[in-house]
Amino acid sequence: MSNMPESPALEPERGVYANRTLNLRSVRAIGYDMDYTLIHYRSDEWEHAAFRHACRVLDAGGYPVHDVTFDPDYLQGLVIDLDRGNLIKATRFGYVIQAQHGTRQLSFDELRSTYAGVAVDLADPRYRFMNTMFTISEAALYAQLVDRLDAGIIPGPLGYDELYRVVSAALDESHTTGALKAEIVADPDRFCDLDPDTAQTLIDQRLAGKRLLLITNSDWTYTRAMMSYAFDRYVPSGSWRDLFDIVVVAAAKPRFFSQNEPAFRVVDPERALLQPHHGPFETGEVYHGGCAQHVEQSMQLTGDEILYVGDHLFGDVHVTKSALRWRTALIMRELEAEIADAAKFAPQESQLRRLMADKVELEDRLAYARLARLRRIEGDDTGPTSVESLESLREALRALDERIAPLARAAGELGSATWGPLMRAGNDKSLFARQVEKYADVYTSRVSNLGRRTPFAFLRAARTSLPHDIVPIERAPEHAPEQLEPDQ
Ligand SMILES: [Mg+2]
């Protein structure tokens, strides 16, 4: 545990990034999600375990899963196209830039013929947005079963959408039945990646007068075991319970944020005995269910005084923002690798920008030269007397493209080797990034990053960029476009 606060050098991977300015001083209560927020899981281990459990469920249902294997190279932020059995990556406008059918990547021509004119609308039931880490096993399993359905190994008739429901139900079953959770509780070191600074972050927030809540969908037995494992050793009193004013388990988010559900009080922590609860939530107690409005009323706070911190784009931040106007922070651990990769790639990135600027200039010169040639053929001699050679301009463009191609390819392979970065899709922001900017006031890789900024930080949104912004391109002389001989 760190002792005296100091202003640390803030490396970009551990930054807190604001879409909308958030002054932590005006936040009076902070609610935390547990899974993948306060407790980070090694997602390969967890997802692999969930995958195995789901396969057992499917095997019992007669599905041919004996030879499927877990492939962790899927990203959250992809979309499943239930009409076609495809996994797709889309830009912020919903344009599909990459797709695979089953486990096979579509070629450029297939992609164009399938998705030209399609804009993915997440409200359309045709699409399933993979918006948590828990969807990695789902994508891995679904893709392989699509292959088997196409090969006629799965007895039909069964559509790609029905197949998805089968896979999804098997995974839900593995998450809700006790076997997977028992496996994790029995060997938490294998599944959890503990961050000792998380407890200090919460302790500091309490010192600064903020009230803390744990609001998790997990049940009491699992929550208690995991929170005790992850926090008791870092809390001076030895009990994680002292970090929180109110604990809500089995919260049933996102319904918790949008509906008025009854609350129960956990009256016997050992046996998880419940009693219906009326009246305000009281400090020091554990509740089962209930709703966010009840939290607001109990603490006599308004939505903009409460910050909710979670990793689930829909369940934790989307509904929270639209139904209640709570302030929201999204935790996304993948950001650390994504930023580190981008930092390593920075020299190539600036070279790529320079080459692209050169390309724009060459393309303009080519366009002018073509027009001038047309006018000359028509006998108009009012234009420029010296016209660049079309052939040399085209040749220069070809040479430039050859230098751009490997850099552009490398930029698209940052992050997942198959799917590229989470927040970008080609040159654009990804559909996932668009959801993040819409619903998360701030986003960061882990809870302790909030601690590094202190409970008093003013998290200021950066000035956003627009296509007409003036961005100086730093040009090294050797990259200036060559002067070409005029057309003789
Ligand atoms: Mg979570």
Least confident span in 31-35, 164-168, 270-274, 299-303:
270-274
Q: What is the dihedral of CA 43, 426, 120, 432, to 10 degrees?
A: 40
Q: Which tokens go with 324?
A: 């209640």
Confidence band (pLDDT; 50, 70, 90) for 488? very low
Q: pTM to 2 decimals?
A: 0.90
- CB 30 within 8 Å of CB 307: yes
DSSP 164-176: HHHHHHHHHHHHH
* Number of Cβ within a 10 Å radius of residue 282: 12
Q: Where are the beta strands (DSSP E) in 94-142?
A: 96-101, 104-105, 127-129
Query: Mean pLDDT over all residues of the chain?
Result: 90
Which domains, from first to last, does the chain contain?
A: 18-40+192-332 (3.40.50.1000), 43-186 (no CATH)
Closest by Cα among 43, 34, 48, 75 to 174 = 48
- CB 470 within 8 Å of CB 38: no
For residue 41, report the distance from its CA to the centre of ligand 1, in Å.
10
For residue 401, report the distance from its CA to the centre of ligand 1, in Å.
44
For residue 217, report the distance from its CA to the centre of ligand 1, in Å.
8
- CB 290 within 8 Å of CB 262: yes
For residue 17, report the distance from its CA to the centre of ligand 1, in Å.
19
**First CA to last CA distance, the chain:** 76
Q: Strand 428-429 vs strand 96-101: parallel, antiparallel, or unpaired?
A: unpaired
Closest by Cα among 235, 321, 246 to 284 = 246
How do residues 119-143 score in pLDDT, each as one tens digit?
Answer: 999 999 999 999 887 788 999 999 9
Averaged pLDDT, 475-482: 53
How do residues 338-393 score in pLDDT, each as one tens digit?
Answer: 999 999 999 999 999 999 999 999 999 999 999 988 888 877 666 555 667 889 99
For residue 310, report the distance from its CA to the centre of ligand 1, in Å.
6
DSSP 365-430: HHHHHHHHHHHHHTT---S-S--B-HHHHHHHHHHHHHHHHHHHHHHHTSSBTTTB-SSEETTEEB
Closest by Cα among 364, 329, 353, 305 to 447 = 329
For residue 36, report the distance from its CA to the centre of ligand 1, in Å.
5
